[in-house]
Structure 1
Amino acid sequence: MAGIFITGATDGLGLAAARLLIEQGHSVTGHARNERRAEQLRRRLPGMADVLIADLSSKRQTVDLANRANRGGAFDAVIHNAGVGYREPRKITTEDGHAHVLAINVLAPYILTCLMDRPRRLVYLSSGMHHSGDADTRDMDWDHRPWNGAQAYADSKLYDATLAFAVARLWPGVLSNALEPGWVPTKMGGPGAPDDIELAHITQAWLAAADDPAAKVSGRYFYHQKETAPATDALDPAFQDELLLSLEELTSVRFPPQ
């Protein structure tokens, strides 16, 4: 039985992955944005080991979440599932002054990666849209460009994949991978999304807990349990280092050495 922590576990793919992992006999701790959603999750999945609450758009709450998650020691796996989509018609700014999509999709998983006790496996949710991401960290908060929600989302998912591969390179003792779940009809994907919702959550659960040798790899990119090629920029060590430096500057949280 593995101990697994899943961000954004209250609905969509996070909820489905949590349900599957509990059915497989694992101990799953979920995350919710607030107490109301946490209570909904407890009712939906009474087999959940615990539910931790934090608004991931807030650095203060994300740091506190890492500290509370560490009280029980390191998890076997952490799935960075929480995210917001690309339909924001205008730039939304968090209490810390960051673009909402950057704070939740990128800064939060970075902070949690740095501050949580190091697990054996890390799983980061990217998107097929990461291939359209811009490998440039000079204006990650969109302070100096006209807002483009779709591009901001694509950039964030490129950063997620790049973070996964940077961790794989710099922490050889951790299996760190990224995946795309497909364009599925979740709250984020919308009702017209064409991919199979029944398959979308399986890969993240598989990478987090499976004994299958195909899942016990690192620095890879998956779609429906099959390795596929990520954007070449995400595999570039120079861009990985540039991203880590930029994230450290934005969060004041240092990426731990090996």
Structure 2
Amino acid sequence: MKSILITGCNRGLGLGFVKALVRDRNPPNQIIATCRNLDNAKELQEIANENKNVHIILLDVTQTETFPNFASQVEEIVKDDGLNVLFNNAGCSPKSTRINFVNTEQLVDTYLVNTVAPILLTKALLPVLKKASEVNKDLPLGSSRSAIINMSSILGSISANDNGGLYPYRCSKAALNMATKSLSIDLQKDGILVTALHPGWVKTNLGGPGAPMEVESSVKGCMEVIRHLSEKHNGALYQWDGKKLEW
């Protein structure tokens, strides 16, 4: 892939993906990384200063009215090549989410970040995604042509839910899974692959210190999945090691 855009890169998995991509034996020509505040993204800035192919763009995914202007900034970077991969990685999860403690603000705010933002950002970036697909029309569906990856979670799987609770996060990711399926149908005619990816339970701010996986391990596995995306992945949910998960 010549270009990839990753949201939420100031820390955690987003930052981990940027680190892995710049070290890759065949790194993308353009790595576009977003963050909300440069003051909280010192390490990301250091990476950008050392790698000319890394571009930082400020983006608060809750401010959906800024998406058209953001899309214009992306177009200025990728130009006539278009955008090969949109990775909707930014996400959030409130802490106390058992039924006795969940509230309206938690539900609405989480849905905005985890579901509404990826849908509307995809909408805003469709022109550059379609451009990449057209430029690479001789290639099969995949990340080398044009792909949208939505960072989901097994916690959004209805069939795998055997613990209950986590209402804001579970419901928002289940909704994102539905959006992934619909987008995969709507955009297949344009040669754009859409899939959902579960990174595992990872030691990040969201996953917590007790998670069993390190960021590096999750990122390494996810990158292999992304590299080998094909038509079979379209409209489905896969985890970091390539295993297909049930909705």
Q: TM-score range by the shorter chain?
A: 0.7 to 0.9
Provide the TM-score with structure 2 as the length reference: 0.75
1:50 aligns with 2:55: yes
Alpha-carbon distance change, 38 to 216 in structure 1, aligned in 2, over 3 angstroms: farther
Secondary structure, aligned partner of 2:70: helix
How far apart are residue 180 of structure 1 and its match? Answer: 0.6
Q: Tell me how far apart the structure 2 counterparts of residues 222 and 12 of structure 1 sit (CA, whole Å).
A: 20
Aligned residue number for residue 152 of structure 2: 126
Per the alignment, residue 178 of structure 2 pairs with 162
Which of 166, 169, 184 pairs up with 2:202?
184
Structure 1 range deviating more: 218-227 or 63-72: 63-72
Please give the per-residue CA displacement for 1:203-247, whole angstroms capped at 9, x wherever unaligned: 443344x2x36587422221123231331xxxxxxxxxxxxxxxx
Q: 1:175 to 1:78 in 2, by over 3 A?
A: same
The reply to whether residue 30 of structure 1 matches residue 46 of structure 2 is: no
Could you say if the C-alpha distance between residues 230 and 62 of structure 1 is closer, same or farther in structure 2, counting changes exceeding 3 Å?
A: farther
Seq. identity, % = 23
Pair 1:62–1:199, CA change in 2 (3 A): same
SS at structure 1 position matched to 2:39: helix
Contact 1:164-1:219 within 8 A present in 2 as well: yes
User: Do the aligned partners of 1:183 and 1:189 also contact (CA within 8 Å) in 2?
Assistant: yes
Task: Report the 3-state secondary structure (helix = DSSP H, G, I; strand = E; otherwise coil) of the residue aligned with 1:178.
Answer: strand
Give the 4+ runs in structure 1 shifted more than 6 A.
Answer: none
Q: Secondary structure at the match of 1:9?
A: coil
The Cα offsets for residues 94-153 of structure 1, whole Å up to 9 and x where unpaired, read as 9xxx822111111111111111134201111111110249xxxxxxxxxxxxxx982111
Asked if 1:221 corresponds to 2:231, the answer is no
Structure 1 residue aligned with 2:138: none
Q: Are residues 118 and 170 of structure 1, via their aligned partners in 2, closer, same or farther at CA, if it must alter by over 3 Å?
A: farther
Query: In structure 1, how many angstroms separate the alpha carbons of the residues matched to 2:7 and 2:35?
Result: 7
Find the partner of 2:91 among 80, 83, 88: 83
- Describe the shift of the 1:107–1:203 C-alpha distance in structure 2 as closer, same or farther (beyond 3 A): farther
CA deviation after TM superposition for structure 1 residue 171, in Å: 0.9
TM-score (norm 1): 0.72
Q: Report the equivalent of 1:10.
A: 10
Paired with 1:162 and 1:170, the residues of 2 have a C-alpha distance of: 12
Deviates more, 1:78-87 or 1:199-208: 199-208
Structure 2 match to 1:202? 220
- The number of aligned residues is 212
Give the counterpart of 1:150 among 166, 170, 174: 166
Conserved? CA contact 2:239–2:245, under 8 Å: no
Which shows bigger deviation, 119-128 or 220-229? 220-229
1:67 and 2:72 correspond: yes
In 2, are the aligned partners of 1:87 and 1:149 still within 8 Å (CA)? Answer: no
Instruction: Find the residue that maps to 2:166 and give its secondary structure.
Output: helix
Deviations 1:191-210 (A, max 9, x none): 111234332123443344x2
Which residue type is aligned with residue 157 of structure 1?
A: K
Residues 133-192 of structure 1 show CA distances to partners (whole Å, capped at 9, x for unaligned) of 9xxxxxxxxxxxxxx982111011111222122111111111111111111111101111
Aligned residues of 2:67 and 2:124 also touching (Cα < 8 A): no
Matched, 1:105 2:91: no
